[in-house]
Amino acid sequence: MPIAGQPGNDDRPFGSPMEEHDMQTTRSKELADEYLRLGGKRLAKIDDNIVKIRHWDDDTPEAEAFWQKHIEPLDDKRRVEVETHLPTINDR
């Protein structure tokens, strides 16, 4: 069994681009989960790999503040990664 930070069966070295991607994806998921836990209501609309956010219902003040502080300032690529972890309009 591979040890964290050590090459695994796929022989990827620690800090490889794939591992960095995995860490970023995990961080994006954590941000989305915290936003939702705080009462966030934004929904993702994903069509042809284009992600847009729909915001029909008001967020709780805590969720709105979290979005403005932690998600809104992200560059476009990272913000889209967070948004893909939100429920979609098809989930409604």
* pLDDT given for residue 49 in this prediction: 81
How many domains in the chain? 1
**76 within some domain:** yes
Burial 7-32 (b: 16+ CB within 10 A, else e): eeeeeeeeeeeeeeeeeeeeebeebb
* pLDDT given for residue 2 in this prediction: 41
Give residue 60's domain range: 23-42+54-91
* pLDDT given for residue 92 in this prediction: 67
pLDDT < 50 regions, the chain: 1-16, 18
**87 within some domain:** yes
**9 within some domain:** no
**75 within some domain:** yes
For the whole model, what pTM was predicted? Answer: 0.71
* pLDDT given for residue 22 in this prediction: 62
**33 within some domain:** yes
* pLDDT given for residue 5 in this prediction: 41
**32 within some domain:** yes
